[in-house]
Each structure stands twice: as structure tokens, then as C-alpha cells.
Amino acid sequence: MNSSKLFFIFLALLFSAATLAQRDTILLDQGWDFAIDKRAEGLREGWWRKALPGGRAVALPHTWNVEDENQEHYGWGWYRRKLEVPAGWNGKRVELHFGAVNHTALVFLDGKQVARHVGDGFNAFPVDLTGKLRRGGGHVITVAVNNDHGRNKVPFGSSFDWPNDGGIIRPVMLIISGRPAATYLHATPVLHAADSTGTLALAVGLPGAAREAVELEVTITGDNRPARDTVLQALVRPQWQGEEARATLELGRVRPWHFDSPELYRVEVRVMVHGQETDRIADAVGFRNVTINQGRLYLNGEPVRQMGVEWTAGSNPDLGFAEPDSHIVHMGRLMKEVNTVLSRQHFPQAEVFYDFCDRNGILLQQEIPMWGPETPANDTIRRIAMRQLEEMVHNLRNHPSIFAWGVGNELRGRDADMQGLIKDLIDRAHELDTTRFATYVSNTLTWSFHNDPKHVPDAGGYGDLLMMNEYGGSWWTLPEAAVPAYLDSVHDTYPDRPFFISEFGVCEPNFAGGEERRTRDLVRHMAYYESKPYINGAIYFDLTDYRTHYPGTSDNGRYRRRIHGVYDMYGAPKPSMRVLREESSPVEVQQMRRWEPGKLNLLIFGSIGLPQHAVRGYTLFLSATEDHRAGRAYPLPEISPGQQLDFEVDDLFGGKGVVTIVRPTGHVVTQKVF
């Protein structure tokens, strides 16, 4: 029996009762037919009305650009699946939810178009099927997908440096709920620094609800820790703004979210109408304050300097953008293995990635994929970019890991037309979310300080944070030793703006030298940043060698890539991986010295370079091998930046051993062999 028949039998059993549970989510990963459309015939010949010519079975997520015969196809592909509707769905709200389709999707139900999502390959989007399905009937969903290098999309044309993988690249789900149904939950936490109490503002989308009959039953519990204590349980009558039900709740003392202690709270809202539940919706939030004071970034009142790495999705040539959750989580773990507490993403990721960052302590700047100098500032790009920004903020605003929204990368930051668009996008981000920063990442900040007679300001200055991609010694044509003076000139122009290095590294094959050059560049540039107290953070580019559509790089087809990472395309570490981890450690183990009989003394310092923050709740392990789990554990006291700690351990291995220090989250920060 094939998988689609099994699925329909499962549905029949699941929905044989007269009524559904208040909310059910069904993953539609199986049962799809796919056909490539290399001659762009589908729209002319009406493929949405019939079985797909030459169709074959595929599972989602899927991209055709990792298939041998379709690696270079940038155009149309078609997906089709049957959908049986149980009788129990009658009267329910039914939403078809796409995690992402790259880059344009036309969605058809039984030959009739029900949705268009144009020029946006990475934001999730819903399709409301309520009232369009027959009770107990069969239906057909068809999705036409386009990934051409078109002009009606962001990123524009071919102006981006990552793979152009077309397809339904993230999961598709059906969400069935009672009515009125919650179409979204926005939960905005506020941490009060004076007494560590919390306030939570809720906004629930409830279109078509009878306001006078609606109450919200809210339950808040501790999350991301074994003890899931109930913090609050309340039945509230909301205030209304349009079709949005709002409520503000006081929680008392809460545990703040920090990258070393990523405390989360689960917020569940049950929609009650005349005392009966019609729907429920939930999400996790974290209480933290990220503020600016005199050019320094503060997390929960503590000045922090941070380090991290960016990961470019789609870089495994066997998976492309069709990455399963397990692979995305694995990439997150690799990020933590090199001490990542700060990162950025050029385009929205799958939900599982943000959940990982929330639970494992990575602060993110999340950007729309407006990228590259070829991008025009015309009305089409403005409209698509604004819509992408609005969808991104709407979809992701509950994640405590996201502390800033980004509106673009390496655009024409000195040109008046693009400057106007960048500023308008930043202003819009502030309107959409008053709790986070908004930025633009520039590669032209340094021009006016040296050879621009007009002294045209750079669009990077419009952001709350100064984000600069720094490639002295490679993409920048200047002596490498001039980089510190460049950094000073930027800081002198924006002395009250927190300054971040948003990218640095060495790209092969554009620049030869291999791992020796990569390691030298990493150490040298980290020394530049560490010597500049105004540098608040730096992000190494990239975690892995990453796939790209750009010609003239390494290899061809799905293997075309930038050799830019401390891991290879498959996640195997290079020698530079350990160097990046050690350079990014907030604590330094400098010496192991003989102490009194049977004891050793370890000389430890809190880092005063980059990163720099208090070390709390860390554990030191002494072991015979690099497997620290087989060693003896010693809890470390709190260590402040610059503080010297003489730490006594048992002499277990005759004056030798491997010293490993681990974060409270379980990730290794440093490992030294003595």
C-alpha cells in the first residue's frame, strides 16, 4: 500500500469522531507529484487543471536544484497532491501553511487559484481554505513554483551570493481549528530591571469573532528547563483593536533570558466563547533587555562584547534548501561549537532554526534578503521589500534570540535613491516593532573618510547599530595594516553608535592561501578588533563552505561554492575551526602549575578582548583525553572580564591533562592540552 493511501486511512481514523480537537496540525510532507517545466509550458497549457505531465513522487521539503538533471534549471516547477477532507472538518477553519517557497508560488485548489506569493522565497505564508472545501470530499492542491533570476523579487535578479534553489523548500502543514480561530499570537515581554519582574503584552488575531463573547484563558509556564513551573493562569476579557484581541499581564519575578542562560516561558492562549474553547495557540518567549548606552551594547544591564559566526543555509549539496529539521539543528550545534552567541542571517530561516537559537543562546540580527549593488530602488523593489519586512516581523517577533531587524546588505549605500529606500525600511521596522533595533549592513562606510571629496554620508549611519563588513587584506584594496585606522575613522564619525563587524574572513578560490591564510587572517583581524574597545561584536563569515549560484567560483552545478568556512560543505571541521573557537572564548586558561602535593593550580583570566562578559555557571573538566565527559568536573566561580583566578584541581594525571571549560548550556568554550 502506498504512503498516500496510508495517509488517507490515517485521516479517516483521526477524524471519524463528530468533532475535532480545538486545533490539529497535519504535516503534508508525503503524497506529492512533481514535474519540472523547462520549457515554461505549464501556465500556457493549464497544468493546474490536470495530472502533471511526467510527474514523479517527491517528499517535502524539496528542491530540484540538487537533482543531477535539474541543477541549472531556474524557472518553473510544479507540485500536485490530493487532499481528502473528513466530514469532521465541517464548520472548521482550515489553513494551508507554507514554510517557504522559493521564490514565487501560485497555489491552486481544484483548478482555481487561491493564493499568490510573489518574489519572496523565505518567509512563511498562510493560505486560508475555510469555506472552500467540500464536506467529506476529495480535492487537489497544485503549486506552481518559479525560481528564475527575475526582476520582480527580492533579492533582485542574480544579485545575491547563496544558492538559488527552487521548490517547496520548507514544510507544508494543514492547520484545522474551531471558530473563531487564532490566526496569530504576538507576545511582547518586558523585563523590569529594578526588580526582575515581567510584563507580557498579548495580541491575538481573531477575525470574525463576536467580541462580547470572547475571553482568553492564558497559561504561562517555565520552559527550556526540567521544572516547568506554572507562572500564571488567568481568564481575561481582552481589549480590542480591529480584529486583534489584546491583554496585558503582570507576572511577578521572572528569570531573564541570556545567551548563557536562555530562560524561556511557554505562553498558551485558549480562545473561549461563552465558556467553550474554540481554539488554542502557543509560543515561547524570553524576558531580556538589550539596550544602548554611550556606544556600548548592554544585555540585562551588563555591557557585553560578543563573538559568533554566520551560517548560510542550503550549503550541503545533497540537500540544498530542502534541509530537514535534524540538519538545521546540527548546523546550530556547529555554530555553538565555535562559541557563537551572536549571528546574523541574510534571509529568514525555518522556524526550527530560531527555536534552536532561543533555546541555546544565540542573539540574531535577522534580515530581509535585499542584497548587492545591482539592486535598484524602484517602486517594485520597494513594494516587495516592504512586504517582506512586514511578513518577517509578523512571523518571527516572538523569538527572544532576535534583537535586531536588518533591511539589507552591501547595497549602494552612497547613492541617494538607495539611501532613501534603506531609511524608509528602517523607519518601517521601527514602526512594526518598537522593542528591537533596526540596521543596514554596509560595505561602504569607509569611503568618505579617505578619498570621497564630497563626503557623502553612508546609509549604514541610519541604523541603530553600525554594521560593517570588513575584508581588509582580501576584498579591500589597501594594506592590511591600515585596517585599524579605518576602524578608528568609522568610530570617530559615529562615536555613540555601537559598532559591529558584521562579516570578516577569507574567500577561496577568489583569494588563494588555504587554511594557512584563513587562520592567519582570523588571528590578525581578531587582534585588531580586540584592541578597539568600541567594537561591540564580530561575526565570522562563514560557518561552512557555502553553495552559491555565482559563476567563476569553485566547481559547477550544485557543488558551486565559496570556500569560506571553518567547516566544509558537509560539516567536517577544518583546522581553523579550533582557532575560531579559542579566539571566541570568554575565558582564558593560560597555565597549569604544580601546587601542593596532589594538587595543581590553573591560571585563568576572564577575557578583556572579544568576546567580553561575565562568566557565570561555567564548569571546568580535567580529563586524560579530549573527551571531557570522562573527566572530573569542577564548578567555576563567577569570573569578571580581566579577573585573575588561581583555581585548584586534583593532580589526576601526573601534572598533565586536558582542561575543558563548558558553558551552562553544555557547549565547550575552550580546551587546552597541558
Q: Domain holding 244: CATH number?
A: 2.60.40.10
Look at 29-43, 273-287, 434-448, 648-662 and tell me which has the smallest mean pLDDT. Answer: 434-448
What is the average per-residue pLDDT within 409-413? 95
In a shared domain, residues 108 and 28: yes
pLDDT per residue as tens digits for the range 182-216:
999 999 999 999 999 999 999 999 999 999 999 99
In a shared domain, residues 143 and 246: no
Cβ contact 636:607 at 8 Å:
no
Cβ contact 660:621 at 8 Å:
yes
Prediction pTM value: 0.95
In a shared domain, residues 167 and 21: yes
CATH of the domain at 41: 2.60.120.260
175: cell is: 492547520
In a shared domain, residues 29 and 121: yes
What is the average per-residue pLDDT within 360-367? 98
Q: What's the length of the chain? A: 674
In a domain, 475, yes or no: no
| Confidence class for position 453, pLDDT limits 50, 70, 90 | low
pLDDT per residue as tens digits for the range 527-580:
999 999 999 999 999 999 999 998 878 899 999 999 999 999 999 999 999 999
Mean pLDDT of all residues belonging to the chain: 94
| Confidence class for position 240, pLDDT limits 50, 70, 90 | very high
In a shared domain, residues 108 and 192: no
pLDDT of residue 461: 93
In a domain, 507, yes or no: no
What is the average per-residue pLDDT within 18-46? 89
In a shared domain, residues 146 and 203: no
What is the average per-residue pLDDT within 389-407? 98
Q: Is the pLDDT of residue 151 over 80?
A: yes
In a shared domain, residues 158 and 188: no
More confident residue, 1 or 45: 45
CA distance 629 to 241: 54
In a domain, 399, yes or no: no
pLDDT of residue 228: 79
Q: Is the peptide bond before 611 cis (omega within 30 degrees of 0)?
A: yes
CATH of the domain at 619: 2.60.40.2150
| Confidence class for position 448, pLDDT limits 50, 70, 90 | low
Q: Which residues contact 346 (CB under 8 A, 6 or more apart)?
A: 160, 162, 310, 312, 367, 369, 371, 409
Question: How many domains does the chain contain in total?
Answer: 3
| Confidence class for position 11, pLDDT limits 50, 70, 90 | very low
User: CA angle 151-155-160, nearest 5°?
Assistant: 115
pLDDT of residue 455: 65
In a shared domain, residues 171 and 190: no
In a domain, 316, yes or no: no
pLDDT of residue 1: 47
In a domain, 391, yes or no: no
- What backbone torsions phi and psi does residue 243 show, to the nearest 5 degrees? -100, 25
pLDDT of residue 262: 98
In a domain, 543, yes or no: no
Q: Is the pLDDT of residue 393 over 60?
A: yes
Domain boundary among 145, 160, 177: 177
pLDDT of residue 123: 98
In a shared domain, residues 56 and 171: yes
Q: Which residues contact 322 (CB under 8 A, 6 or more apart)?
A: 60, 61, 62, 63, 66, 165, 167, 169
| Confidence class for position 4, pLDDT limits 50, 70, 90 | very low
CA distance 265 to 218: 12
pLDDT of residue 552: 74
* DSSP 8-state secondary structure symbol assigned to residue 472: B
In a shared domain, residues 162 and 128: yes
Share above pLDDT 90 across residues of the chain, in percent, rounded to a whole number: 90
Domain boundary among 249, 270, 290: 290
pLDDT of residue 561: 94
Domain boundary among 126, 157, 177: 177
Cβ contact 460:467 at 8 Å:
yes
| Confidence class for position 449, pLDDT limits 50, 70, 90 | low
pLDDT of residue 425: 98
In a domain, 484, yes or no: no
Which residues form the domain of 157? 3-177
Q: Is the pLDDT of residue 16 over 80?
A: no
In a shared domain, residues 166 and 189: no
DSSP assignment of 106-147: EEEETTEEEEEE-S-SSS-EEEE-TTSS-TT-EEEEEEEEE-
DSSP assignment of 367-431: E---BSTT---SHHHHHHHHHHHHHHHHHHTT-TTEEEEEEEES--TTSHHHHHHHHHHHHHHHH
DSSP assignment of 274-325: TTEEEEEEEEEE----EEEETTEEEETTEE-BEEEEE--TT-STTTTT---H
Place of cell 511577578: 252
CA distance 603 to 595: 12
In a shared domain, residues 53 and 146: yes
pLDDT of residue 145: 98
Q: Is the pLDDT of residue 5 over 80?
A: no
In a domain, 604, yes or no: yes
